[in-house]
Structure 1
Amino acid sequence: MIDLTNKAVATITDCDQEPIHIPGSIQPHGYLLAIEPGSGRITHGSANLTDLLGVPLSHLLGQSVFEVLPLQEQLLRPYLTLKEDVQAKTMTTHLGSRAYQLALHQSDAQVVLEIEPLADEKADAYLLGISDLLDLIKVPNSLTELCQILAEHVRKILEYDRIMIYRFDQEDYTGEVLAESLTDGLEPYLGLRYPAGDIPPQARELYIRNPLRSINDVSYIPTALYTLADTDGTARQLDLSHAYLRSVSPIHIQYLKNMGVAASLSISIIKEDKLWGLIACHHSAPRHISPKQRDSAQLLGLLLASQIELHQRADSSMIIQQVEQSLNRLMPFLQAEPLDLPGLVAVPDLLSLAGASGVAILVDGRIHTSGQTPTSPELRNLALFLAEQSGYASFSTKHLTQVYSPAEAYADVASGLIYQPLGYVTEDCVLWFRPGLEQTITWAGQPKGSARATNAHESLTPRSSFAAWKETVRNISENWHPSHLQASEHFASVFQKQLRLLYLQQETDKQRNLNEKLKAANDELENITWISMHDLKEPLRKIQILASRVLSTEAQNLTDSLLDSISRMQNSARRMQNLLEDITAYSRISSKTDAVNAVDLNQLLAEVLDEMEDEISQRKALITYGELPTLKGIAFQLKQVFVNLISNALKFGKPDEDLRIQIELEVPSAEVVQKFSIVPEDYLTISVQDNGIGFENSYTDVIFKLFQRLHNENNGQRGTGVGLAICKKVMQNHDGYIWADSEPNQGSRFQLIFPHAYVLQEVNP
């Protein structure tokens, strides 16, 4: 067996680190064991189970709970065989001649069973005052009066020496004693403030998970939990977050002793899933309360939480009404066209809707302010900081200098802040401000934190003084009322929508102007294309005819130099004509407006080879191809692709080697899959492979750009740099890709990658 008592407190240096949910022990007035659902095997047990069951704990661990408690099997089995989460459940039973309460709840993979002896109880006198309490709280008292009534009632029915209603500040989690009822002779704590460190974050979290925690005797000796070692020799701790018997932090025990408290009970006040406060009960002698009394106390906590909600709503009604009126008066300014930001910020309602003394709106680099605010440079820096720190989320504080130290320079006007962003990528926002106030806070002892270790070798020690200690604080504003926060968020939301509409209108206007310019540019380009296709071709034809005529009829009368010049002029005119024809072809395939039909690539390729028969024969080229699929496409465009690829191969073949061109169906190569981030199963590839002069593979991106040529001259021929650009455009029009790989003197391989969605008749590659 392994003792699970958590000794980590002796080595930590900050009480915020204390693992209070796994103390490894329980308070000794009850018994605890953990059970594995389904099998019923006992995995953990408290040391005092031996006293209860008369069996050594070492014999109990690993045994079935149904064998250990056979008479309770009928009660327990329904809660240990469920596959879903086990719901918390309490029941009463007898072990021997004594009555016990059994309480079950789930903790990770185990079901925890707590066993507590029940004393003989008289009539539920502690419940008799509930009707009187209900009558009292029906009176429309203030929240403070309500808490005072409840504090006195709880002391009456539970008979503790001191009852405090303790409220947390929801921003810094310091606590304030809002109401108190106490026995004569005790020093009052009413109105005192307690530092947040007295109840650290993990303790507040446990108060939410388990809303009732009692310590019958602060001088108790914890009862250790034991478990069997796992196969690797380690032991698994048991999470006791929801266990009533959970042993309490030794730091907190010493804290209570320093206060002169011998027994305590804490009842959580939870509002909207947050810990609003506590009903703290202290007694100068050990005190045990029964399970029924605990249930009654928990009911009082729920009752107070509901009444707090009602009272806060009543207190808020006037503020809400004023805020709604301010919002209604601001709406016309938000909906006006054009949006008048200087006029909007000058409306007093913009301040009153947040109860602020200053407001600033930052939009498009401009700042509009009203009331008391920091300077424009200070506002810009603050907005930038808030956007980065909050991630463009709403933010509010009453103590700005605590989160942004430069605010110290203007704390007299801006200690309280509400930040509402107006976008997710800019510093546009609305900022409301409140001035810092000078306040005197009366602490219960000097607020240095609840427990600190002076060095790494000492255990934590809680503070021992709770005498009233006054502190004057500055640069802290009044708390922001929830209604003001909600109103500011609603205003920012509406404002943001109006700004988006304004931006959209501006972008629409810009787009309209741009479209008009583009249309004019397209008209000009169409004119240029028309000139290229018609007006320029005619003079080029005349130049070629005249040059041919001179060369054929006047050659004998001309010098060799002049003949050479005329010949070069004729070749230049021919190249220009080819270029104009290629540009015309490119402009024609620049859209997908042509009719889409079924295109049999086998038939199309046969037509291409038939039309190019003379060129192929002249180059003594051998072209082979396998069976190709039928595609959904634009026939003349696809024809252009094969014409250009075969023409390229014919132009750039090796002069001393017969040209070979092979066309076949393939699956996309690994290089293509990576290059275009495609799924191979969704595409097919048609490759065009030649044994020509090739090119450097680093140029594979360049060759498909318009007017890009790698070989200026080959066998007296020049390309225009348009053919491969046409191929790329055709493939784009068919939602596909084109790619090439090559090596100098090793030939070139062009890949046409078509989506399967365009395939009408499959062919296996």
Structure 2
Amino acid sequence: MSEKKNIPTDGFALPEKNKANHNDELLFVNKKLSQQIEERKKRAAELIIANIELAYQNKEKENRAAELVIANTELAYQNKEKEKRAAELVIANTELAYQNQEKEKRAAELVIANAELTFQNKEKEKRATELILTNNELEAFTYISSHHLQEPLRKIQVFTDRINTDEHQNLSDKGKFYLERIEVAASHMQGLINDLLTYSRTNVTEKKFENVSINEVINKVIEDLSEEIDLKKAIVKVSGNCSAYIIPSQFHQLICNLISNSLKFSKQGEIPRITIESIYTKQKTKNLPSSSDYCHITISDNGIGFEQQFESRVFEMFQQLHSRAEYKGTGIGLAIAKKIVENHQGIITAKGKLNHGAKFDIYIPVL
């Protein structure tokens, strides 16, 4: 029998050896291809990761770019603000330099003003010293002169009294008239000297303040003036009661002068009515501190009063608003009253209306 031979279906047959080599090559190629595919997969995976990282970096760059835009904008704004501040600083420095110059000028002016003030203070101290010396000399002159005037006045009064007693029957009517005028003039001069002495004492007398009831002083004055009050049939009404630190003797003189003034200037044919009131108050005048407590003393009457235009003159020395022949006086009584009130760091004011009485308001610090 003859052997059958394998014939390839594609029309030709490979040798066995070649076929084996071909398979090995194919396996190798496949393996190589598999490796390349794996490498490509790895590269693709790495590429994906790289792309993701790149995308993230791009986003970060965009964010940084946006932040940089904002930062640049802010920087530009800050630069503008710095330029504005710099301009303002230049203006401020210019203003400061001007103010410093002005301060230097003011300082120089202040030095001059202080020097002038020092000079003026020294001048005032000199004037004050001179004024004190002058016042002391004037007070001494008034006091000594008044005492020296007392002696010749007493002699005039003694001799006129002797003439009136021993020689009155030998005098003619004209002589008696002249003698009467001498007695009146001597009496007026006596009153004037006494008032001048009282006025001078208000300056030189030692000022010892005591806490005293004002009513006690008023009642003592009314007691001392009882004869004049009874003679005039006057009605004196006292109300209220303050206590204050006063100089008792001077305050007695003050109240005495004011009540005597009301009695003296009473209306003919009408009973004098004098009202005295003392109350505590916060003063309401512009001449004294409003924070202090004051004793407000009011003395009013129904006398002849005075014209309103003379309010500022009634306290001046030797001011007499009425006829001396009809109303005797020296014109010093109210000046003494004003001086005493000033010694008490207070004020006194007067109000009046012709034929409708007068009113005196006194404010004395309580302490």
Compute the TM-score of the two structures, normalised by the length of structure 2: 0.70
Check conservation: 2:254, 2:337, Cα contact below 8 A. yes
Q: 1:714 to 1:616 in 2, by over 3 A?
A: farther
Asked if structure 2 preserves the Cα contact closer than 8 Å seen for 1:705 and 1:725, the reply is yes
> Is residue 230 of structure 2 the alignment partner of residue 617 of structure 1?
yes
| 2:82 pairs with 1:300 | no
Residue 638 in structure 1 maps to residue 248 in structure 2 = no
Residue 350 of structure 2: which of 737, 740, 757 is its match? 740
Distance apart, 1:712 and its partner CA: 2.6
Tell me the alpha carbon deviations over residues 346-395 of structure 1, each in whole angstroms, 9 at most, x when there is no partner.
xxxxxxxxxxxxxxxxxxxxxxxxxxxxxxxxxxxxxxxxxxxxxxxxxx
Aligned twin of 2:179: 566
Q: In the alignment, which residue of structure 2 is the partner of 1:712?
A: 323
Is the Cα contact below 8 Å between 2:257 and 2:337 reproduced in 1? yes
Of 284, 289, 296, 1:685 maps to 296
After superposition, the C-alpha distances for 1:31-77 in whole angstroms (9 at most, x for unaligned) are xxxxxxxxxxxxxxxxxxxxxxxxxxxxxxxxxxxxxxxxxxxxxxx
Once residues 567 and 704 of structure 1 are traced to their aligned partners in structure 2, the CA distance between those partners, rounded to angstroms, is 31
Q: 1:510 aligns with which of 101, 123, 130?
A: 123
Per-residue Cα deviation, 1:488-519 (whole angstroms, up to 9, x for no partner):
44643453343234323432443354345424
1:307 CA displacement? 7.4
Amino acid of the structure 1 residue aligned with 2:319: Q
Could you tell me whether the CA contact under 8 Å between 1:700 and 1:741 is conserved in 2? yes
User: What's the counterpart of residue 337 of structure 2?
Assistant: 727
The worse-fitting range, judged by mean Cα deviation, of 524-533 and 610-619 is: 524-533
1:649 corresponding residue in structure 2: 262
Identity score, percent: 32
Q: Are the structure 2 counterparts of residues 680 and 687 from structure 1 closer, same or farther at C-alpha, using a change threshold of 3 Å? A: farther
Kindly indicate whether the alpha-carbon contact (under 8 Å) linking 2:257 and 2:334 is maintained by their aligned counterparts in 1. yes
In structure 2, relative to structure 1, the CA distance for the partners of 1:663 and 1:292 (3 Å cut) is same
Match of 2:311 in 1: 700
Answer whether contact 1:591 1:733 (CA < 8 A) is retained. no
- Work out whether 1:753 is the aligned partner of 2:363: yes
1:581 to 167, 191, 194: 194
Q: Distance in 1 between matches of 2:132 and 2:295?
A: 38
Q: AA paired with 1:554? A: E
* Residue number in structure 2 paired with 1:329: none
* Distance in 2, Cα, partners of 1:492 & 1:702: 48
Q: Show structure 2 runs of 5+ residues with no match.
A: 1-60
Please give the per-residue CA displacement for 1:410-450, whole angstroms capped at 9, x wherever unaligned.
xxxxxxxxxxxxxxxxxxxxxxxxxxxxxxxxxxxxxxxxx
Instruction: Say if 2:300 and 2:359, in contact at 8 Å, map to a contact too.
Output: yes
- Paired amino acid for 1:749: K
Change (3 A) 1:668 1:505: closer
- 1:173-202: CA deviations, max 9, x gaps? xxxxxxxxxxxxxxxxxxxxxxxxxxxxxx
Provide the rounded CA distance (Å) in 1 between the counterparts of 2:197 and 2:275: 29
Equivalent AA in structure 1 for residue 346 of structure 2? G
| Matching of residue 532 in structure 1 with residue 311 in structure 2 | no
Shift of 1:697: 2.5
* Shift in alpha-carbon separation, 1:121–1:545, aligned structure 2, 3 A: farther
Q: CA RMSD of the aligned region, Å?
A: 3.5
Residue type at the aligned position of 1:750: F
- The alignment status of 1:546 with 2:159, answered yes or no, reads yes
For the pair shown, the structure with the greater C-alpha radius of gyration is 2
- One-letter amino acid matched to 2:150: K
CA shift at 1:696, angstroms? Answer: 1.9
Give 1:698 deviation, angstroms.
Answer: 2.5
Residue 91 of structure 1 corresponds to which residue in structure 2?
A: none
* Matched residue type, 1:574: S
Give the SS at the match of 1:536: helix
Equivalent positions of 1:182-581 (< 5 A) are 292-304=71-83, 485=98, 488-489=101-102, 491-581=104-194
SS in 2 for 1:123: helix
Query: Amino acid of the residue matched to residue 612 of structure 1?
Result: L
**Structure 1 residues 298 and 667: CA distance shift in structure 2, 3 A:** same
Q: Which has the higher helix share?
A: 2
Alpha-carbon distance in 2 for matches of 1:552, 1:571: 16
TM-score, normalization by structure 1 = 0.36
Query: Counterpart amino acid of 1:736?
Result: G
State the alpha-carbon separation in 2 of the partners of residues 488 and 531 from structure 1: 63
Say if 1:750 and 1:510 are closer, same or farther in 2 by CA, change over 3 A: closer
**How far apart, in 2, do the equivalents of 1:659 and 1:711 lie?**
18
Compared CA separation, residues 517 and 731, structure 1 to 2 (3 A): closer
| Structure with higher strand content | 1
Return the alpha-carbon distance in structure 2 between the equivalents of residues 292 and 654 of structure 1.
Answer: 102
Of the structure 1 ranges 675-684 and 555-564, higher mean CA displacement relative to structure 2 is found in 675-684
* Structure 2: distance between partners of 1:707 and 1:121: 108
Assess, with a 3 A threshold, how the Cα gap between structure 1 residues 739 and 680 changes in structure 2: closer, same or farther. Answer: farther
Which amino acid letter does the alignment assign opposite residue 713 of structure 1? R
Q: Secondary structure at the match of 1:626?
A: strand
The 1:719–1:668 alpha-carbon spacing in structure 2 relative to 1, beyond 3 Å, is farther
Shift of residue 666, structure 1, vs aligned partner: 5.5
Query: Residue in 2 aligned with 1:601?
Result: 214
Q: Shift in Å at residue 594 of structure 1?
A: 0.4
CA shift in 2, pair 1:722/1:597, >3 Å: same
Structure with the larger RCO, 1 or 2 (CA within 8 Å, 6+ apart): 2
Structure 1: which 5+ runs fail to align?
1-119, 128-289, 313-479, 759-765
Give per-residue Cα distances to partners, 1:284-328, cap 9 Å, x unaligned: xxxxxx765442222223555677899x8xxxxxxxxxxxxxxxx
Q: Is the 8 A contact 2:146 2:193 kept in 1?
A: yes
